[in-house]
Amino acid sequence: MLQVRQNALADRFQQQRAAFAAQPFPEIGVRKDRLKRLLALTERHEGDISAAVDADFGGRSTHETRLAELFVVRAGIHHALSHLRGWMRERRVATAMPFLPGRNRLMPQPLGVVGIVSPWNYPFQLAVAPMTAALAAGNRVLVKPSELTPAFSALLARLASEHFAPDELSVITGDAEVGKEFVSMPFDHLLFTGSTAVGRQVAIAAAANLTPVTLELGGKSPAILDPSCDLDQAASSIAYGKLLNAGQTCIAPDYLLVPKGQAGILAAKLAAAIGRLYPSLRDNPDYTAIISDRHLERLRDMIAEARDAGADITEINPAGETLGATSRKMFPTLVRNADPTLRLMREEIFGPVLPIVEYATVDEAIGHVNRSDRPLALYWFGRDPGNRRRILQETVAGGVTINDCMLHLVQENQPFGGVGASGMGAYHGEWGFRTFSKEKPVFLQSRLSAGGLLRPPYGKTFERVFSLLRRIT
């Protein structure tokens, strides 16, 4: 069965490569048609998509799927349709004086066949948003969704086949072995969204073909509360940002840095904010479950290790409920006084567990962030412009939201991407178009060029012209 799937993958790849060779530079009308079909896929099947994701999670908020996935994708497609003509236009580039009256241009050219490996946590958004950029840039696209969302992956494959020819856009389903084969294909560009550990393996596999990669990874994204911040407003934003999708978000706040003496106060405010968002948990359709038993067990093991080590553990259970034995839902959990050697403090949590760490000075908070791998996101809450400037200038992160959580992700006029261990490259909006294009430099020589005066046989003319060039450059 695996060999059959591998053969199907290779056949589909060759089919797309041949189609690209026959149409290496699709006109704007062709690209807009593909984007409109992608928009139709999004708009006509909202209910089916939400139901499939809910089934895979064993309880996923339909409202969160509509807002964080379908709405975000729809906005991205509309943005691409509105700006595509400008993105495709050749750009003038300044020409240095010695080469005038020649002219420089940059021509954005499609790369060919793009591979996209999407994760389970936002299975629609993180598959279709990169598709949008790749199709806008004029490429053919193969997508490998996660095996952890089998209902959604099967649905996406069916919807893609209904709206696109297989040599335009195709979805390859299968297990982790199929995924390994997928990332080993000689794509013209490969985008992977997932964990840092798997991202390293993807980069190694792609390197064998010199395939350029965009890696959207994760890490421990901090939220720093400045002494000048409004604790109530910060608690409200953090509670929502952390518990969206039950914390299974690559840019969710992973831990909090708060001024010394305020951890207990903030914990109480977070508990109150969580209670307002989710008055009950067990049967609340707004509160999402953990994706699998394995991930749930990992989170429980982290908490147990912290408890055994003497950390203060607070489960937030507003309605005093008992979760069923078969439920994969998990109580939001706050952790204080956790030793930095614990797994909870070293690994990305990816769940509704939130450590709170106190700091004495801004220098200490900055040092704490900088001792770890560079995070995908960083959040700062406060009013002090000097401290805000220091945080922005003295820490490195993939993106930052000030006085809220996660909103930098949905800005189509800004790039989204990681740095260091949290990823490389970026997409969204024009940055996605550029990621999946080759900006080809073109020099147009003029008939009036004097370049021939610098060619052999060298002599006095060469020396005079060369002396002039040295003076004007």
Per DSSP bridges, beta strands 140-144 and 113-117 are parallel
Of 168, 250, 412, 430, the active-site residue reads 250
CA distance 141 to 157: 13
- For residues 227 and 250, the answer to whether their CB atoms sit within 8 Å is no
The catalytic position among 168, 216, 412, 430 is 216
250 assigned to active site: yes
Residue 214, helix vs strand vs coil: strand
Catalytic status, residue 162:
no
Q: Which residues are catalytic?
A: 216, 250
